[in-house]
Amino acid sequence: MSCTVPRGSMRTIIIGIGVLAVILLLALLLSRSSAGSIPYAVTGKTGEIEFRHYPELVLATVDTTEDNTGFNLLFTYISGSNKPREKIPMTAPVITSQKIPMTAPVVSDTASMSFVMPAGSTRENIPDPLDSRVRIVTLPERDIAVIRFSGYAPQEDVDAATSRLQDGLKTAGIVTTGQPFLMRYDSPWTPGFLRRNEVATEIRR
């Protein structure tokens, strides 16, 4: 015994699914724009590498090798776990330092995650955390080089983009300072094809 759906009902179902998909996509796009972003000026480009100048930034930072631990501590901080119990607007991107491999001699095997405080913030007007694992640090204005890629940023994709960035800068004769870092701009529920990720490193030009 077979069960068939009337042609008119099937068309209604398909239209309903299409409308739902459009609503979901719009919701995701709106969620991507709900957080402010760090302001910067593009100063040049070579191949897929973009050069930017960033103003002074204030960061809330946690030293950890676990993304979930760092994110939860930082999100709790901006949600009110600070001395005046104030909520702090979320700003994109979330910055993660790259873990330095344990070589001889060991330089460091510490990684960190940072939330950027809203544009125009200073150390004086950012509330102190209640949890001592959260540090407030100030980065001076600086120039960085960036490669952008999509997806969920698994380690192999991050490593591949980092290698391309370092090789491209070496070929261009541009000096880097410090370690590469990862910047992620999207909420966890954003689909991979819509996600914006960047590997970056500070440079001297």
Eight-class DSSP state of 190: S
pLDDT digits (tens, 9 = 90+) for 116-174: 999 889 999 999 999 999 999 999 999 999 999 999 999 999 999 999 999 999 999 99
Tally the residues of the chain: 205
Report whether pLDDT(72) > 80. Answer: yes
Burial class from Cβ neighbours inside 10 Å (0-12, 13-18, 19+) for residue 145 reads: buried
The confidence score (pLDDT) of residue 3 equals 54
Lowest mean pLDDT among 75-89, 119-133, 185-199: 185-199
Measure the CA–CA gap between 58 and 15, rounded to whole angstroms: 48
The confidence score (pLDDT) of residue 29 equals 42
The more confident residue out of 198 and 67 is 198
Domains of the chain (ranges plus CATH)? 36-204 (3.20.80.10)
E strands within the chain? 36-37, 41-46, 49-54, 57-63, 91-92, 94-97, 112-116, 135-139, 142-149, 175-184, 197-204
pTM, whole model, 2 decimals?
0.79
User: Do strands 142-149 and 41-46 pair parallel, antiparallel, or not at all (unpaired)?
Assistant: unpaired
pLDDT digits (tens, 9 = 90+) for 7-66: 666 666 666 565 454 444 444 444 444 457 888 999 999 999 999 999 999 999 999 888
Report whether pLDDT(191) > 90. Answer: no
Closest CA to 148 of 115, 179, 110, 186: 186
Q: How sure is the predictor about 96, in pLDDT bands with cuts at 50, 70 and 90?
A: very high
Eight-class DSSP state of 41: E
The confidence score (pLDDT) of residue 205 equals 79
Report whether pLDDT(78) > 80. Answer: yes
